[in-house]
Amino acid sequence: MNEVYDVYYSTGGAQLVGGGADVWVNNWIEEVAPHLDTKPILLIHRTRKGIEETPEQKKTFENSVKAGRGGNEGREVVKKIKKNYKEVLNTELEHLWQGDDPKKFRELLGGARRIHILHGYYAPHKFIVENKEKIHSNMIHVSVRDCLKASMVLDLDRSFHTLMEQAWEDEICKLATHPIWIGAEKSKLDYPTEHIPNYYEFKHNLDVSDSNQIGYAARMETRKCPHFLEGLDSILFTNIRHIKWWEQNANTDTSTWKKISFSYKFLDNFMKRDWGISHSAHIFEPFGYSIFQAVDYGKIPILAHDWIPKYDYPFRASSVKEFHEHYHTICKLSLQERRDYVFPLREYLKENYGDKKAWREKMLRIFND
């Protein structure tokens, strides 16, 4: 390829949505990619279609659970995403899934003018290592250091998270001309970063519910604190297999939990179910799409102490005891009292994190530099 181009590298997005970073990539596809000056090529380091697990793969996961190791076997591939994402991919944005042509995938990385990491792995991969001098920007979606110390902060013996290496985060952020932290608050990382917080569009603005059932729409990793729900009437929208880790390695009693297998295409259906309280007390949460969604759908959240701490909000918990105390307090609130907490929080989040245009312009200044 003789044409000059920049590679935008990701481990998810498009049809592959399993967390906030993938949503971020889809926002980039829709809002940023059409306005880039240099030809962009999106490389997604995954396999395009969902494939049934082999017995060997299932056995590997079961063994990892028994051994007390965390795991993230990849995000679920959904068949349909928003039409505008597809339109951009099909008509404007050249893209390649690594599983479709690994050789070409590697060649495109090698031939790029610059590499922008939209969301990378948290450990080194040869495709990136051999082209690391080309890394122009790196989006930091979570602090590896925080993830690795979550079990200690929560006084847990073991931790459940994907493969992470602190040394790699340090190295790649120092290599990038623009290391960009996407969290709601400024970065507390040990090296300089630029701060471009995510945005969220409030599209539902639903009223609160008087239901006392707790909803949980997040991964089962340690820093999300799913064990706070032990003994409480809860409904979880997550990877059900990962619940096994908590049952077997943390002795978590999940008998009061209703469990629904996560599929991004059913997120709206889950959020519109009649549960009224959101478990949003995720420690070290950088941005928290699921928290914004809960407020958008009228769920009163229990937050962590370190999530946008400058906002005065009474229901914050960073321990099981605190969480249960706030839960029982919320159960006694009237509908109007719940509104008095949810609606002002919603307006604050809209005002401070709802400017899509400003986000796009900041991103374009980096990519079109």
Distance of CA 288 to the CA centre of its chain: 7
234-238 sheet: strands from edge to edge: 257-261, 234-238, 214-216, 277-280, 300-303
Q: Maximum CA pair distance of the chain?
A: 67
Q: Select 214-353's CATH number: 3.40.50.300, 3.40.50.2000, 3.40.50.1950, 3.90.78.10.
A: 3.40.50.2000
Confidence (pLDDT) at 17:
86
Contact 205, 295 (CB under 8 A): no
Q: What is the distance between the alpha carbons of residues 151 and 212, in angstroms, rounded to a whole number?
A: 28
Residue 231's region, left for phi above 0, alpha for psi from -120 to 50, else beta, is left
Share of the chain above pLDDT 90, in %: 70
Q: What is the distance between the alpha carbons of residues 134 and 155, in angstroms, rounded to a whole number?
A: 41
For 198, the token pair is 């995510």
> How many CB atoms are located within 10 Å of the residue 51 CB?
11
> Matching CATH topology for 5-199+354-367 and 214-353?
yes
Q: What is the distance between the alpha carbons of residues 171 and 138, in angstroms, rounded to a whole number?
A: 11
pLDDT under 70 in the chain at which residues?
1, 49-91
pLDDT tens digits for 145-200? 888 888 889 998 888 877 788 888 888 888 999 999 999 999 988 888 999 999 99
Confidence (pLDDT) at 80:
38
Confidence (pLDDT) at 192:
87
Ranges of each domain in the chain? 5-199+354-367, 214-353
Contact 4, 39 (CB under 8 A): yes
Question: Rounded to the nearest 10 degrees, what angle do helices 289-296 and 335-353 cross at?
Answer: 130
Q: What is the distance between the alpha carbons of residues 281 and 323, in angstroms, rounded to a whole number?
A: 8
Class of domain 5-199+354-367: alpha beta
Calculate the dihedral angle through the C-alpha atoms of 105, 109, 165, 78, rounding to the nearest 10 degrees.
-40
Confidence (pLDDT) at 284:
95
For residue 230, what are the contacts with CB-CB under 8 A and spacing of at least 6?
252, 253, 254, 256, 320
Backbone φ, ψ for residue 197 (5° rounding): -65, 150
